[in-house]
Amino acid sequence: MLYWIYDIPTSTFAALATGLAVAVYWVGAILLRPILRQFVKRTSGANDVVGYVLSCFCVFYGLLLGLIAVTAYQNAADTGANVTREAAALSALYEDVSRYREPYGQNLRWLLRDYTRYVIRYAWPLQQRGIVPVDGAVRVQAFEEKLLDFQPQSPAEEIVHAEALRQFNTFLEFRRMRLFSVHTGIPAVMWYVVIAGALINMALVWLFDMRLITHFVLGGLLSAYLGTMIFLIAAMDNPFRGEVSISAEPFEDLYAHMVEE
């Protein structure tokens, strides 16, 4: 896929998608419309026939675009929710280990601060490039080993330790979900169908018997909206890429709280 589109500003991407759709329609109206018109010019009421076909096609294509847009939004929303849950589980784990006796508590808090700093400064830039960060596993393993080394010496410490282990497992679950989401996106085959549908939609409009200037205006408006829809879906696809993406703000807020203590 054309991942370079996520490296440009969103406004530029929107203008590029819309302008490209309009340009394709205008060029087709000049070069391809006369050829396609040969198939319907001898049909009585050709505009009515083409209008019926276009209406039926737009129903199916509109449903497809709507479902894909909802899917892209749902993927982004679920990924954002998982990131928030991971940060919340990490915050609860930090509070739990803060109740450990020293030096265990201090060492465990330091390891969690180091992991949070790593996620913000190193893991997130990798995710924005579509790379699954792997160095975080080393930090998680170091924390787990230190956590399991702790031996409770009272009933109160046993309760706190059991809760910390539960929160740690919850944190691991949401962390894995975040890593799995790095490559989340709409399958390429669906993009092929979307692009093919847009071209068929333009081709059907080219079949109308109208003046060229009318084609430029009406077809250009329709193509501009098609380009905007395609831009919207692409911008929400790949939740960690581009300006319209999941940020590390939950981890940043958590790290600021950790540093203040």
* Count of CB atoms situated within 10 Å of the CB of 224: 16
How many CB atoms are closer than 10 A to CB 186? Answer: 19
- In-domain check, residue 105: yes
Asked if the structure places residue 40 within a domain, the reply is yes
Q: Is residue 3 situated within a structural domain?
A: no
Structure tokens at 225: 């909206």
Mean pLDDT confidence for 226-246: 90
Task: Give the pLDDT confidence of 85-110 residue by residue, as tens digits.
Answer: 999 999 999 999 888 888 888 999 99
User: Do 36 and 203 contact (CB within 8 A), yes or no?
Assistant: yes
Please indicate, yes or no, if residue 2 is contained in any of the structural domains.
no
In a domain, 4, yes or no: no
User: Which pairs with CB-CB distance under 8 Å and at least 24 residues apart come from 147-152?
Assistant: 147/97, 147/108, 149/104, 150/100, 150/104
Q: Is the pLDDT of residue 121 over 80?
A: yes
| pTM for this predicted structure | 0.83
**What are the structure tokens assigned to 26, written together?**
């205008």
Query: What angle separates helix 188-206 from helix 46-97, to the nearest 10 degrees?
Result: 150
Query: Would 239 be classed as within a structural domain?
Result: yes
Number of structural domains (the chain) is: 1
Whether the per-residue pLDDT at 261 is higher than 80: the answer is no
For the segment 203-212, the average pLDDT, to the nearest whole number, is 91
Q: Which domain holds residue 15?
A: 9-260
Q: What is the dihedral of CA 241, 244, 245, 247, to 10 degrees?
A: 130
**Greatest distance between any 2 Cα atoms in the chain:** 94
Residue 229, domain member (yes or no): yes
Residue 152 lies in a domain: yes
By the 8 A CB rule, do 141 and 175 touch?
A: no
pLDDT score at 184: 86
Mean of per-residue pLDDT scores for the chain: 91
Q: What is the pLDDT of residues 21-57, one digit of tens each?
A: 999 999 999 999 989 888 887 777 888 889 999 999 9
CB 182 within 8 A of CB 127: yes
